Chains A and B, each alone.
Chain A
Amino acid sequence: MAIFGLFNKEKKDKLDQGLSKSRKGVLEKLNRSVFGKSKVDEDVLDELEEVLITSDVGVDTTLRIIERIEARVAKDKYINANELNTVLREEIVELLEEKATPDYNDWDLPKDKLPYIIMVVGVNGVGKTTTIGKLAYKYKNAGKSVYIGAADTFRAAAIEQIEIWSERVGVPIVKQSMGSDPASVAYDTLSKAKNNNADVVIIDTAGRLHNKINLMNELAKLKRVMQKLIPDAPHEILLILDGSTGQNAFEQAKQFTKATEVNALAVTKLDGTAKGGVVIGVSDQFKIPVKYIGIGEGIDDLQIFNRREFVDSLFKE
């Protein structure tokens, strides 16, 4: 693997630390299952199935991973049970690479798409506002000028919440009052950002369950209104998924994509005990790349997702 620079080393340490709780569960279970075994047998595979399913990887992706391990065992004949960890890591990374979605590496922005418009969407309580705060902080630190648009005009105190984040990070915010038209807020934000030559605009939206048709249509409207000002906006429609969500995450990804052409995912709350297997499952089932992961409550606890680093960190010994 490439040599890590100082920045990457720091990033890796943070990732390791953030995922320590998730990892603990995965490894403990796996170690227990292979303890005293000299080779990978049916029992070990059963245990592996349990480990993956209880990590929320999902039945389909779990079966795919197990099939791969089985094939590997058949081919290599004598895989030591202790090697299972390494094999598992390799197979998962390979599985994730099959989709060939790009891995992002830094906070650079495409130069032909400035200001770069990010519209943040997701169901209620997944951490949209917090993620926006962290994103603004990261982009600001990368030397970009950032604008935030408070287009969650529905939930009580949502505007106040994002406003506090904008103050914390020190970036301008565009807002109207509670109950106003979110599309109008988005339009205002884009026009201000454009006039001030901003680099990034992050638009917050109200949490909505993906089976509420009216609310999903509202997102399409938001998008249309933004396009009046910047024809290819939003450049990034970022769906936030809660890392402790189970199989419904797939339905969320499907429905939001149908309504608004989501082209990036962020998975939050990975510092909890939930195993975050949803990252693996979603990467396997969808062509939409996981772009960011949230690994803590601090303003700095957001990272650009890298498959290999993530899997390595999750199964680190």
Chain B
Amino acid sequence: MFENLSDRLEQSFRLLKGQGRITEINVAETLKDVRRALLDADVNYKTAKSFTDAVKEEALGQDVLKAVKPGEMMVKIVHDHLAKLMGDEAVDINLSGKPSVILMSGLQGSGKTTFSGKLANMLKTKRGRQALLVAGDVYRPAAIEQLKILGEQLEVPVYSEDDNKNPVQIAKNAIKYAKDYGKDVVIIDTAGRLAIDKQMMEEISAIKKAVNPNEILFVVDSMTGQDAVNTAKAFNDILDFDGVILTKLDGDTRGGAALSIKSVVNKPIKFVGTGEKMDAIDVFHPKRMADRILGMGDIVTFVERAQEQYDVEESRKLQKKIAKNQFNFDDFLKQIHQIKKMGNFKELASMIPGVGKALRNLDLDDDAFKGIEAIIYSMTPEERQNPKVLSGTRKKRIAEGSGTSIQEVNRLIKQFSETRKMMQMMTTNKNAKKMMRKMK
């Protein structure tokens, strides 16, 4: 996500680390780099300036001079300021209404329709709500159709009036429909509009007045440049929205828009979109994001995702097997599927501190498992359960069946047995401690 920015800051700090103490002179160089990094990351010009000014003030203060390692001290100061700039803890959406009404707004192409689908899916599957999607974009060709298809995929009803060109009326009717049919969350998708389009801004303002939403969300593309603050401000002036949604964060944008929007409109970023699949939605955690910016990884999100996919019963069975040294290729395959369910492999790996940078230039994605899967699928059930039987002829057959080579099959078998050994060691307490010591 913000990997490039972390790189830059890291480099700046490395310069500083060589120095004994922070002085007006060496801090100036570092701050220039920090500012440049922020600008390259699309952080608003003014925000970047006030940010570096604030950091400088603190860096030259007493605490820093006492610090043993000025580089680390700077990391902390920059991190604290970043976290502060992006707001405090994650803020949830307001679902208090009966039904709760959520109004989406934003520029063309920011991802409102896709995000509406994701939000409906999340509220349905994770919070047990009865969601209703409302097709309020009557302008863009096939926008209504798009929402209908998403609704069908998600099994969430979509309210639309194909011949009605009045989104205010459609929204009103949708609320009535929701009440009649027992839907408790109404998500209103709207057309993309430019903040300077008076007529269109009046229209969304009229929708707001007509349905009195509990939550107005401003959807913004995380790749947006310097104009993000102006657009956010213009939408906020008219709608006084409640939260910001940052989309397309699975790209490699440095996402500086996230930093500036919050500071300009003082509204929390509530969710982020991280992929085209309907479950690619995450809560925005400002502190974690700051960690991420500074290359500290995002281990918490990683653990949460793992927990979601974690099956207690399965894992108990697996542990027993490992203890008895019965872990086989079927289990290995299951593990791979579990990891794949957690999302894009590279994205996941990048959340682990220190790993992101190493992976960036590698062609790693879900396909990384394809070869492994193909090899295992080419094994007979007996071979999978009892890898010991794998003889030379069997390996040759597997290599041919999976379109790989004997070397690749051998490599996998070797990896597998090493994994098995390691797993067994870690299951018994005594051995685990020994391992930990080794790792130190």
**Chain A positions near chain B (C-beta within 8 angstroms):** 21, 50, 53-56, 58-59, 123-127, 129, 154-158, 160-161, 163-165, 168, 178, 209-214, 242, 244-249, 251, 269, 271-275, 278
Contacts and interface: CB of A to CB of B under 8 A. Distances in A.
Contacts of B107: 244, 269, 272
7 closest residue pairs by CB, A with B: A246-B225, A125-B109, A246-B42, A157-B146, A164-B141, A161-B142, A160-B142
Interface of B: 36, 39-42, 44-45, 107-111, 140-143, 145-150, 153, 194-196, 221, 223-228, 230-231, 234, 248, 250-254, 256-257, 276, 363, 365-367
Contacts of A55: 226
B251 A247 contact: no
Contacts of A211: 250-252
Given A242-B221, A251-B253, A278-B225, 11 more contacts: A21-B196, A125-B111, A156-B153, A157-B146, A157-B149, A161-B146, A209-B248, A213-B365, A242-B223, A273-B194, A273-B227
A50 B45 contact: yes
Given A59-B40, A242-B109, A272-B194, A248 B251 contact: yes
Q: What DSSP secondary structure best describes chain A's contact surface?
A: loop
A125 B192 CA distance: 11
Contacts of B257: 246
16 contacts: A21-B196, A55-B226, A56-B42, A125-B108, A156-B146, A157-B149, A158-B142, A160-B146, A161-B141, A211-B251, A245-B225, A246-B42, A248-B254, A249-B225, A272-B194, A272-B195
Among B111, B150, B196, B363, the one with the most A-chain Cβ atoms within 10 Å of its Cβ is B196
B384 to A, nearest CB: 27
Nearest to A211: B252
A247 to B, nearest CB: 5
A278 B110 CA distance: 18
B149 A123 contact: no
Given A244-B107, A247-B225, A274-B227, A123 B251 contact: yes
Contacts of A158: 142, 146
B41 to A, nearest CB: 7
A250 B10 CA distance: 22
B194 A271 contact: yes
B146 A246 contact: no
Contacts of B194: 271-273
B193 to A, nearest CB: 10
